[in-house]
Structure 1
Amino acid sequence: MSRPRLDAPRGVLQRPAPEGRIAHERFAPSAALEPFVQHFWTVRWDLRGEPPVLAETLPHPCVHLVFERGRARVLGVQTKRRFRRYLRGMDRVFGIKFRPAAFQPFFPAPLSTLTDRGLSLRTVFGPESHALREAILGEPDPRRCVTLAEDFLCKRLPELPGETARLRDLVERLASDPSLTRMEQVAALVGMEPRKLQRRFSAAVGVSPKWVLQRYRLHEAAERLVRADVTDMAGLALELGYFDQSHFIRDFKAVVGRPPAKYVAEARAATRK
């Protein structure tokens, strides 16, 4: 039986939405898939009679398998700003989020070739994936979708090289350790020359260590701003590894689409609804 994930999602940007009309659930993988899969997820919405709702996220350095409205795709790491989608009417999406670097053993090329791209599930997993696509798209119970996906992946589990597992764990440490803010720190942590580390990240993760550091620090910033415990924007910028407040505001606006002050105002408006 799949287990719900209780930890709060990171990277979801706050937007006002009608109460009780949108459901987001996540489920932990089985022990066999835990080295590869971070979680399964589903978003369901019923906005009939309501205006569209803009959903926005700051993507993680992870590959997703996404099943929605007649198609199933493998999505590489998305680096172009934030992911934006208007939710309309009544529909649902089911997805599988792989851990950083952990999709590389399934893919016969460097993951950088998949960055900012999407391929059909069939292109990556062959014609047998058609049955999985049809089964998941026809199954309304998300827990049953998890079971279908687990059965499919467990029959195709590749070997997980030790180096890939170490890169996976390193990326996840960058997400949880806010003291790591510079490329030099990361290279020293693993005892690797920065250029070599960059090549390893490109092949196994799909993006550079610098991109990962910036994205996770912006995740941290968005979360801290929503919690409303930030009184010193310049101090927050320094904590996140920025030289000054202006560079932080510039990067935040470039990725999130609005400056921190406006994002805070929108997030507070969303929580009041």
Structure 2
Amino acid sequence: MLYLSHVPSPPLCEFVANLWLLSDAPPHQRERIVPSGTLELVINLQDDEIRIYDRVPGNPCARYSGMLVSGAYGRFFVIDTAEHALMMGVHFRPGGAFPFLGMPAKELADAHVEGGDLWGSWASELRERLCSATTHAQRFRLLEGALRARALDSRPRRPEVRFGVETFQRPRARVRDVAAHVGLSHRHFNELFANEVGTTPKLFYRIQRFQRTIEEARRNVAPDWARLARECGYFDQSHMIADFLAFSGLSPVDYVLRQTAQVKENHVALA
């Protein structure tokens, strides 16, 4: 499987962590995508379809057009890896998708929305141009240029939300402390945060704690899970396991075992 990543130049890099491209389907047929606290734009350049499967095996899949925006999810969902034949995407930073949406990010929470429903003909025209490009480098240039021209909301991002995003990526942050620090009521801070980021501050913090634990576990051949749980901000190991089951449907050990070179970040291979 070929995986390419491109970091856009300023100021777009303040909103977009990276543009990515996948080609060649891996040997496994399904992958779980676990929450990251961000939104994702996905474009299938091989077929004009993207299939999303339910958490419950055997349920019918949902079929979307070849350009899809995944909102900030609080649970995993399943994709069909046959679509990896040629696929591009945009991995937004937390809150970074907000200027491009034309609506509060919270309206896309736990949802998938077709690009045409958000952006009309611009979405289909962009996909056609990307499909027609002859090199991957050209595709990255086209997608980056399209995003630069697409920012719909010129309002500056709220500094209170940016402070919250940064703080919640550290262990043992508390929503009420952050709200008090930025001079907002708990309710007002929750509303502003959800509008830009797409999740409540509490859920975002839990997801970042889960992500931090995954990253630390990858650095160790035989992770000391009890120690990791304490260092990453969990009460104890059982608390950590509960979050892993909620966000990935897997225990911490099973999750790490399924992380292979043939899966993208935040993807878990299924048999």
Report the TM-score range of the alignment, normalised by the length of the smaller protein.
0.7 to 0.9
TM-score when scaled to structure 1? 0.77
Question: How big is the shift at 1:229?
Answer: 6.3
- Residue pair 1:102, 1:164 contacting (<8 A) in 2 also: no
Counterpart code for 2:69: V
CA displacement 1:113-148 (0-9 Å, x = unmatched): 111222222222221332211111333533211211
Higher mean alpha-carbon deviation, 231-240 vs 139-148, is at 231-240
CA distance in 1, matches of 2:110, 2:220: 32
Question: How big is the shift at 1:149?
Answer: 1.4
CA distance in 1, matches of 2:6, 2:159: 22
- Tell me the SS of whatever aligns to 1:34: helix
Question: How big is the shift at 1:53?
Answer: 4.6
**1:62 counterpart residue number:** 38
Counterpart code for 1:250: A
CA distance in 1, matches of 2:190, 2:84: 43
CA distance in 2, matches of 1:83, 1:29: 28
CA displacement 1:217-255 (0-9 Å, x = unmatched): 111111222222665433322222222222221121222
Higher mean alpha-carbon deviation, 209-218 vs 185-194, is at 185-194
- Residue pair 2:33, 2:77 contacting (<8 A) in 1 also: yes
- Residue pair 1:182, 1:241 contacting (<8 A) in 2 also: no
Aligned match of 2:71 in 64, 70, 76? 76
CA distance in 2, matches of 1:211, 1:91: 33
**1:11 counterpart residue number:** none
Aligned match of 2:174 in 168, 177, 182? 182
Counterpart code for 1:64: E
- Residue pair 1:101, 1:164 contacting (<8 A) in 2 also: no
Identity of aligned pairs, percent? Answer: 29
Question: How big is the shift at 1:26?
Answer: 1.2
Which stretches of structure 1, 4 residues or more, deviate above 6 A after TM superposition? Answer: none
Question: How big is the shift at 1:33?
Answer: 1.6
1:98 paired with 2:92, answer yes
- Residue pair 1:58, 1:219 contacting (<8 A) in 2 also: no
Aligned match of 2:24 in 32, 37, 45? 45
Question: How big is the shift at 1:206?
Answer: 1.1
1:119 paired with 2:107, answer no
- Tell me the SS of whatever aligns to 2:19: strand
- Residue pair 2:33, 2:79 contacting (<8 A) in 1 also: no
1:148 paired with 2:142, answer yes
Aligned residues: CA RMSD: 2.9
- Residue pair 1:37, 1:98 contacting (<8 A) in 2 also: yes
Question: How big is the shift at 1:24?
Answer: 1.9
Higher mean alpha-carbon deviation, 198-207 vs 162-171, is at 162-171
- Residue pair 2:70, 2:112 contacting (<8 A) in 1 also: yes
1:247 paired with 2:247, answer no
CA distance in 2, matches of 1:169, 1:43: 33
Higher mean alpha-carbon deviation, 152-161 vs 38-47, is at 152-161
- Tell me the SS of whatever aligns to 2:144: helix
**1:206 counterpart residue number:** 198
CA distance in 2, matches of 1:93, 1:190: 40
Aligned pair in 2 of structure 1 residues 85, 127: CA closer, same or farther (>3 Å)?
Answer: closer
**2:269 counterpart residue number:** none
CA displacement 1:60-111 (0-9 Å, x = unmatched): 22222211121112221122x2243342387121001222222222333321
TM-score when scaled to structure 2? 0.77
Counterpart code for 1:213: Y
